[in-house]
Amino acid sequence: MEPENGNDLQGVPDAFQRLWTPHRLVYIQEGTQPADDQCPFCLGPGLTDEQALIVYRGDTCYVLLNLYPYNSGHLLVVPYRHIPNYTDANEAEVAEYGALTQKAMRVLSAVGGAHGFNIGMNQGAVAGAGIAGHLHQHVVPRWRNDSNFFPIIAQTKALPKLLGDVRVEIATAWSQIS
């Protein structure tokens, strides 16, 4: 029997477990891209470090934890200026962006013993940028065997620490590591 519409599929088993994430509803209701005046990367620096998950504030860029991490310690390097592309960054922003990326890698290696990293920028909504209007770079720590059975079999990612605890560890280590 062919389903008549998508609602007929709600009981059809497939390979994915469903994870209820009501905190992401705002992205669905508001559309996939926030309005410029609601950009979380522009609003973040006006909050406390704890509220915005900021681990370091530089001159032209800052570093914060990703609210929806791929792994514990998943950091974002973000310029303060609301620019969409890396090609829009000025020399000072590019220099600090790179230096903060290097520092993030050193800190994550020291704090969490990361064995490797995924580093990248998605430029534009069609390239997968969750917030396409504001440039940001992902620094994702990786460990040997961190692809345990959860993501492979259960399509679920286990994160062993709360974001607030991870932020404190990284922010504390940031000033101690050169």
Annotated catalytic sites, by residue?
A: 136
How far apart CA 171 and CA 159 sit, in angstroms, is 19
How far apart CA 120 and CA 165 sit, in angstroms, is 24
DSSP state for residue 64 in the 8-state scheme: E
Burial 149-161 (b: 16+ CB within 10 A, else e): eeeeeeeebeeee
Count of CB atoms within 10 A of residue 65's CB?
Answer: 21
CB–CB of 18/26 below 8 Å?
no
